Amino acid sequence: MVALLILVIVLLVVIIPNIRIVPQAHAYVVERLGAYKETWPVGLHVKVPLIDRVAKNVNLKEQVIDFPPQPVITKDNVTMQIDTVVYYQITDPRLYCYGVENPIMAIENLTATTLRNVIGDLELDETLTSRETINTKMRASLDVATDPWGIKINRVELKNIIPPAAIKDAMEKQMKAERERREAILIAEGEKKSTILIAEGKKQSAILDAEAEKQAAILRAEAKKEATVREAEGQAEAILKVQQANADGLKMLKEAQADDKVLQIKSLEAFGQAANGQATKIIIPSDIAGVAGLATTITELVKGDK
């Protein structure tokens, strides 16, 4: 019984340290007698004591490496500092473990050389405005180079582009001049629009003034015409009233059977009324009897009309 208990204890002491649990997003590379045996996925595993060993615990999550700024030279011989950020993920733990001695250092050096090659084909202005193009070229080149190492490059980003101080000062002056040019253009456009609006306003005002003067002239002409018509109507009505009064007077003379003396008096009254008119001279017949005869003739005419 004691021997069995000792055997159980020895087995537990030997087996328990060789039980391994692989956590999520990890993989264990196992070697047997120094040679690659297998890759343990997530779960519970037991290795053979003294024969098997876990060579490497590989993290399968996407990881980020921020490399320090690297000096690069553009196509137009401008030296600048550029630092990059690389997002990578291990896809094959075996190749990652045995493909390269130091994967992180290998990725850093490969990133620096690839960056120099890409930037060397671009001028300064293209480098500053073509970040997306540079990122795409670098990712494609690094992904191909790291594939034998069991590493996949998901993304490459240019974090900072630091040009020389003189170039930076010249760029700031250029941007300032461009802003001043845009400001001058905006001011000129504003003044132009203001001048146009003022001219349009004067034009509309002149048109309205001319239209108002036209309407006033039309109204004055219509008023003058109406006054002339009324004046003519008044004169016609006055003439009609005078004629009517004369006719009434002759009728009354007829009805009264006036004699020649009365007719002579009426004739003299008619001459008196004529003297009150606009005539400057009045010729009176020397023979007033002629006037009476004229009045008699008028009386006979009136009788004939009746």
Which amino acid, 23? P
Please report the pLDDT score of residue 77 as a whole number.
87
Name, in order, each residue with C-beta under 8 angstroms of 287's C-beta and a sequence gap of 6 or more: none
The tokens for 137 are: 């070229």
Structural domain of 182: 165-248
- Amino acid identity of residue 217, one-letter, is A
Pick the last residue of a domain from 121, 141, 163.
Answer: 163
Backbone angles phi, psi at 136, to 5 degrees: -65, -45
Identify the pLDDT of residue 292: 47
Question: Domain holding 67: CATH number?
Answer: 3.30.479.30
Whether 85 and 96 map to the same domain: the answer is yes
Cβ atoms of 284 and 271 within 8 Å: the answer is yes
Please give the structure tokens belonging to residue 34.
């120094």
Summarised one tens digit per residue, pLDDT across range 24-43 is 999 999 999 989 999 999 99
Q: What is the pLDDT of residue 217?
A: 87
Gyration radius (Cα) of the chain, Å: 63
Q: Is residue 164 classed as helix, strand or coil in its secondary structure? A: coil
The pLDDT of residue 169 is 78
Cβ neighbours around 288 below 10 Å, total: 13
What pLDDT score was predicted for residue 17? 81
Q: Quick check: is 253 in a domain? A: no
Residue 94 identity (one-letter amino acid):
R
300: which 2 tokens?
Answer: 């006979």
CB atoms < 10 A from the CB of 238, how many?
10
72 within some domain: yes
Residue 111 lies in a domain: yes
Same domain, 240 and 187: yes
Contact residues for 14 (Cβ-Cβ < 8 A; gap 6+) = 49
Same domain, 73 and 52: no
pLDDT tens readout for residues 54-73: 999 999 999 999 988 888 98
Helices 260-275 and 288-305: angle between axes, nearest 10 degrees: 100
The reply to whether 190 falls in a domain is: yes
Closest C-alpha among 91, 88, 98, 77 to residue 138:
88
Kindly state whether residues 180 and 104 are assigned to the same domain. no
**What pLDDT sits at residue 171?**
73
Whether residue 101 sits in one domain with residue 88: yes
Determine the pLDDT at residue 302.
43
Last residue of a domain, one of 38, 58, 78: 58
Residue 133 maps to a domain: yes
Ranges of H-type helices in the chain: 2-15, 93-98, 103-119, 124-129, 131-146, 165-256, 260-275, 288-305
Same domain, 197 and 124: no
Angle subtended by helix axes 288-305 and 165-256, to nearest 10: 100
d(CA 154, CA 108): 15
C-alpha 73/C-alpha 115 separation (Å) is 10
Q: Are 250 and 299 in contact (CB under 8 A)?
A: yes
- Among 10, 43, 58, the domain boundary falls at 58
Question: Are 79 and 100 part of one and the same domain?
Answer: yes
**Are 238 and 300 in a shared domain?**
no
Pair 142, 211 in one domain: no
Q: What residues in the chain have per-residue pLDDT under 70?
A: 10-11, 249-250, 252-306
Residue 105 placed within a domain: yes
Number of domains comprising the chain = 4
**Are 210 and 288 part of one and the same domain?**
no
